[in-house]
Amino acid sequence: MRNASRGEATRTAILDAAERLFAEHGLDGVSHRQISSAAGQGNNAAVGYHFGTTGDLVAAIVERHTTPIDALRGAMADRVAGSTDIRDWVDCLFRPMADHLESLGSPTWWARLSAQLAADPRRHALYVQHALRSDALSRTVAGFTACLPDLPEPVREERAAMSRLLSVHVFADRETALAEGSPTPRASWSETADGVVDAMVGLWTAPVTHPS
C-alpha cells in the first residue's frame, strides 16, 4: 500500500509540474528532464516510467480535467433536458469549464493548456477522442442542435470552430491575467462564463449570409 501511495503521489506531482510547464512554455518547449526536475524527481526517466510518451502524459492531463468537467455538464444537461432555449444548451457547453477552473483555486494552468490543445491539430484529437466517449457532451450537443434545425451544415461546422477557439482563448486570457496580476474584464469565472455565453448565443443565432 505504501508503495502504491508513493507511486500515486509521484504521478500527481508529475502531472502538476507538466501542466504548469506546458501552459507556461508550450507543449513543444518542455523536456521530460525539466518535468521530472520540477516534480522533485531525481530520476530523469520518471516521466517515461509513469506515463510513457509526452503524448500519453498530455492525455492524462486532459483526462483529469475533462472528467470533472463532464460531471458538471451532465448535471446541467439533466436540469435543462427538453429545453428549446438555445441559451440553456450554450450554457451547458461552456459554463462547466469556468466552474471547474473556479473549483481549482489559484493559480490554474488548465485554461492556457486547453487553448494550446485547441489550436494544435496534432493534439486536438485528444479532445475529439474524449468527446466521442462523453455521454454528457453528446446529450448537450443533441439538445443544442435541436434548437437550430435550419442552420446549414457548413455554417454549423464553421461556427463550431469559431466557438471552440473563442471560448478557450477567453478563458486562457483570463487565466493569464490572473497569473500576471493584471486587471480582468470580469470579476469571477462565473461572470466570465456569462460573457462567453452571451457572445456564443449571438454567434449561433446570427443571420447567415449565403454565397452569391
Tell me the pLDDT tens digit for each residue of 137-158.
999 999 999 999 999 999 999 9
Contacts of 110 (CB under 8 A, 6+ apart): 19, 23, 65, 100, 101, 104, 175
Which among 70, 101, 81 is positioned nearest to 178, based on CA atoms? Answer: 101
pLDDT of the residue at 133: 82
Please state the φ and ψ torsions of residue 189, each to the nearest 5 degrees.
-65, -35
What DSSP state is assigned to residue 92?
H
Query: Do residues 14 and 36 touch, judged by C-beta distance below 8 A?
Result: yes
Rounded to the nearest 10 degrees, the angle between the axes of helix 189-205 and helix 86-103 is 150
Q: Which amino acid is at 112?
A: R
Residue 129 carries which side chain, given as an amino acid letter? Q
Radius of gyration of the chain (CA): 19
19-32 as b/e: b if 16+ CB within 10 A: bbbbbeeebeebeb
Residues 17-54 have pLDDT tens digits of 999 999 999 998 999 999 999 999 877 788 989 999 99
Band of pLDDT at residue 4, cut at 50, 70 and 90: low
For residues 14 and 116, what is the distance between their CA atoms, to the nearest angstrom?
Answer: 19
For residues 112, 98, 123, 23, the Cα torsion angle rounded to the nearest 10 degrees is 20
Q: Tell me the helix, strand and coil percentages in the chain, rounded to 5.
A: 75, 0, 25
Kindly report the pTM of this predicted structure. 0.91
- Nearest to 63, CA basis, from 106, 18, 94, 25: 18
Gap between the Cα atoms of 92 and 73, Å rounded = 6
pLDDT tens digits, 77-133: 999 999 999 999 999 999 999 999 999 999 999 999 999 988 887 777 776 777 668
Residue in this structure with the C-alpha cell 449570409, named with its chain if needed: 209
